[in-house]
Amino acid sequence: MKTILSLILIIFLFSSCSSQRFEDGDIIFHTSRSTQSKMIQTVTGSNLTHCGIIFFKSGKPYVYEAVNPVKLTPLNQWIACGVNGRYKVVRLKYVLQDNHKEIMLNYAKRQLGKSYDIKFEWSDSKMYCSEIVWKIYRSSGYTLSDPKSFSDYDLSSGIVKNEIKRRYGSSINMNEKIVSPVDLYNSPIVRTIYSNY
């Protein structure tokens, strides 16, 4: 009984302090439970299928994420939405100045309420998860990665071809600019600060 109580206390202390390891601007990734998660894994060759950006509000961590609609989600709730509660967090290798954080946060706030972009188009009218993170950083002058195009990804599987047909019909632009979660994770200007994968 004493061992169980000690374990519960350790878990409580860890969970209450865990958010303190993060900072405004940290990027968080997980494997989504969404219906398109398997497709993203197939296309990108990575199990990182969703991402968001952490900002603190009244001392508590939240994640700006592009779902439907773009919204602000409490960090613990965001983590719980991923497969097995596993996630990774990266941070800019440079010191993110307060004025840059303010610019990024203001940009993020202006995206709230926008619809999710199921066609992954490089416009500002709708947003998908890695696009909004990329553009939040770009608003302050940082380029996390060079955008790719659809033709750079593996679109050969049946499940992907069927989904392309459903979403685009015959009008997909193979040269559309796009960034995926794993592209951001592999950015040369970030470093991993946490992973429980």
Q: Is residue 128 domain-resident?
A: yes
Domain with 118, as residue range(s), is 20-195
| Phi-psi label, residue 59: left if phi above 0, alpha if psi -120 to 50, beta otherwise | left
Cross-strand partners of 60: 57
- pTM of structure: 0.89
Q: Is residue 122 domain-resident?
A: yes
Backbone phi, then psi, for 91, in 5-degree steps?
-135, 150
Q: Is residue 9 domain-resident?
A: no
Q: Is residue 185 domain-resident?
A: yes
Confidence of residue 1 (pLDDT cuts 50, 70, 90): low
**Total number of domains in the chain:** 1
Q: Is residue 1 domain-resident?
A: no
pLDDT tens column, 56-108: 999 999 999 999 999 999 999 999 999 999 999 999 999 999 999 999 999 99
pLDDT tens column, 134-191: 999 999 999 999 999 999 999 999 999 999 999 999 889 999 999 999 999 999 999 9
Please, what is the end-to-end C-alpha distance for the chain in angstroms? Answer: 30
Confidence of residue 14 (pLDDT cuts 50, 70, 90): very low
Q: Is residue 2 domain-resident?
A: no
CATH number at residue 134: 3.90.1720.10
| CA-wise closest residue to 65 among 77, 51, 79, 76 | 51
